[in-house]
């Protein structure tokens, strides 16, 4: 019995040792590359960022070019707010999970709301209606939930209803969903180019 145990242990250790000799690690400056030895050949492995290729834009008229340039300008202006919304939403969700009482949660939400208002209210008031609509869509893209659902989750149904009513008065809809393959395809391309540093 002891012989079988030691034989299995030896085979296991030997196979681990043999496997570890096939994998190599190379340091090239700040980058670390891994190499795999297959039948005497060393193959270096590296992960690269996802590559996006968009077609070159051709515009039928100057008006179409101006509309595209305006869309790029609007997306560049509101995208940082959508990223901030995602980060703040994640932070709030983590913190809310640690709070026990409803009173503590409400106090925390009121504090966060005040901080956001103090920091961003004046800037957000200056957004155009079009920029506001784009921001609503980008929040859905970044957070994964519509603006209406975010407000409902954090502040309740009644508050979400009031904000939705106000948005509808100005021709917007907090329930707007981001459609990356449909009507929001151009916005999605612009956001990807911003993220990759191409814009």
pLDDT in single tens digits along all 199 residues of the chain: 666 665 665 556 655 544 444 565 656 566 677 777 777 777 777 777 777 777 788 889 999 999 999 999 999 999 999 999 899 888 888 888 888 888 888 888 888 888 888 888 888 889 898 998 999 899 889 888 888 888 888 778 888 888 888 888 888 888 888 888 888 889 999 998 898 887 7
CA-to-CA separations, 180 to 10, 77, 143, 183, 196, in angstroms, rounded: 55, 19, 14, 7, 17
Q: How many CA atoms lie within 13 A of 116 on its CB side?
A: 18
- Closest by CA position to 145, among listed 170, 176, 168: 176
Question: 26 phi and psi, to 5 degrees?
Answer: -115, 135
Q: How far is CA 8 from the centre of its chain?
A: 48
Distance CA 101, CA 104 (A): 5
């Amino acid at each position: 019995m002891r012989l079988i145990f030691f034989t299995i242990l030896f085979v296991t250790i030997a196979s681990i040792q043999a496997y570890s000799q096939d994998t190599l690690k190379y340091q090239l400056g700040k980058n670390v590359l891994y190499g795999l030895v297959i039948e005497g050949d060393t193959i270096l492995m590296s992960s690269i960022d996802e590559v996006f290729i968009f077609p070159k834009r051709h515009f039928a008229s100057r008006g179409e070019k101006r509309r595209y340039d305006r869309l790029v300008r609007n997306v560049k202006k509101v995208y940082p707010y959508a990223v901030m919304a995602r980060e703040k939403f994640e932070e709030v969700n983590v913190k809310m999970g640690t709070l026990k009482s409803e009173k503590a949660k409400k106090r925390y939400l009121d504090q966060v709301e005040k901080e956001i208002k103090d920091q961003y209210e004046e800037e957000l008031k200056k957004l155009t209606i079009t920029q506001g609509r784009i921001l609503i869509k980008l929040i859905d893209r970044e957070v994964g939930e519509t603006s209406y659902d975010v407000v409902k989750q954090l502040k309740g149904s009644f508050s979400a209803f009031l904000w939705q009513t106000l948005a509808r008065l100005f021709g917007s809809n907090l329930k707007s969903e981001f459609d990356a393959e449909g009507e929001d395809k151009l916005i999605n391309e612009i956001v990807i180019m911003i993220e990759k540093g191409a814009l």
